[in-house]
Amino acid sequence: MTLSPSRRRLLATAVTLATTLLLPLSSASAEPFKLVGKPKIAFIYAASAKDGGWNESLDNARRVVEKEFGVKAAVAESIAEESSAVKNAIDLFVQRGFNIIVTTTYGYSDGVLEAAKKHPGVAFLAAAGTTNAANLESFYARTYEGWYLAGMAAAGVSTKKKLGVLGGFPVSVVNWDVNAFTRGAQAVDPATQAIVIYTNSWWDPVKEGQVAKAMLDQGADVIGNDLSSAGPFTAAEKAGKASVGFQLDMARHAPKGHVTSVVFRWEKHLVPTIRKIIAGTWTPSEYGAFPGMADGVVELTPLSAKVPAPVKAKIEDAKAKIIAGKLTPFDGPVLKQDGSTAVAAGASITDEALWSMDYLVKGSIGSMPATK
């Protein structure tokens, strides 16, 4: 099946960022950026803004931005992930006076950088981008923090001590979610295991439903879905089992069995960043922005009433520690599936190690397919 632009973006992002995130991708100025003209905001999407996942999470943030600043943001949808296409879209917006432009896919990275150089008085915020400059900052989220807490909740409702979790491709932005889910579950019950299956697709509702059913047949009683389709939730609901969602609140797909969803709150990053741009105090990081739960960008939806009170208390405690910087889901010791050490006891994982994560943790059932 052809990958949707919004999902294809994740694969390319992970592969590129695994080697470039911690390196300055282009020169960023130490001087605050000065916006030229009154603020006019535009968003550019590679597909429909209402895609049920990635784009929609950003479009939800757009509506909050509009309300916060009392403006009507312009939207361009289905702009191809090609430098020429995004540059043309940006040029048209700039000609109309738009000077704060939010782009939403890895595939725009090079084109946005070229546009930033061409339009130095325009501010660019690039979701899942890999380029940065004096007027351009890319950003992504620490989703693994939410998945750790979701794993705790899943273990709380599991009676079989066996979970299932679907991922798209075995790349870092998926691997850290899958592994955090497993480790969160083990923080509640060390005997818990997680069946991990990669679909080798970002969007295949039929296949995802079949994979979820196979996990249920293998004894999993909670299904975590790191993808966007309703297939896994439908399969779990039909079997009378529980499920965990991602990107948006997926409770509507599993009203009885939904435990929680790990969701993006991009407005928590975009609103304060745009406020700084308007105030003339914004200095883009040469490494991009990597916000998480402490910034409010990653959250859990309300926990199911089926999660036991003691587990809810543990989740709240872990959440508070993550926000305070006293806990990460990958504090050592972290053992790989084969028993070797990934993070030593007493150590914490680095951002560089996160972006190069290419293993499953101990307690995982299944294997990681080779990446091409």
List % helix, strand, coil for the chain (3-state, nearest 5). Answer: 40, 15, 40
Query: Looking at the structure, do residues 94 and 215 belong to the same domain, yes or no?
Result: no
CATH of the domain at 156: 3.40.50.2300
* Residues whose CB falls within 8 Å of the CB of residue 217, separated by 6 or more in sequence, listed in order: none
Same domain, 241 and 158: yes
Q: Which of 295, 314, 334 is the last residue of a domain?
A: 295
DSSP SS3 for 241: coil
Are residue 304 and residue 240 in the same domain, yes or no? Answer: yes
Whether the bond between 333 and the residue before it is cis, its omega within 30 degrees of 0, is: yes
pLDDT digits (tens, 9 = 90+) for 152-171: 999 999 999 999 999 998 98
- State how many domains the chain has: 2
148/34 same-domain check: no
The residue range of the domain holding 194 is 143-264+298-371
State whether 206 and 281 are in the same domain.
no
Tell me the pLDDT tens digit for each residue of 32-61.
999 989 999 999 999 999 988 899 999 999
The number of beta carbons lying within 10 Å of the beta carbon of residue 317 is 12
The structure's pTM equals: 0.91
The answer on 151 and 123 residing in a single domain is no
For residue 361, give the DSSP letter.
B
Supply the pLDDT for residue 1.
31
Of 246, 279, 295, which residue constitutes the final position of a domain? 295
Whether the CB-CB separation of 108 and 44 falls below 8 Å is answered with yes
Mean pLDDT estimate for the chain: 92
State yes or no: pLDDT of 5 exceeds 90: no
Residue 180 sits in the same domain as residue 321: yes
Per-residue confidence (pLDDT) for residue 16, from 0 to 100: 52
Last residue of a domain, one of 276, 295, 314: 295
Q: Answer yes or no: do 70 and 148 share one domain.
A: no
Alpha-carbon distance values, 5 to 77, 181, 204 (Å): 11, 26, 14
Dump pLDDT digits (tens) for 61-73: 999 999 999 999 9
With contact defined as beta carbons under 8 Å apart, do 141 and 163 qualify?
no
Q: In this predicted model, what pLDDT tens digit does every residue of 188-224 receive, in sequence order? A: 999 999 999 999 988 899 999 999 999 999 999 999 9
Same domain, 61 and 201: no
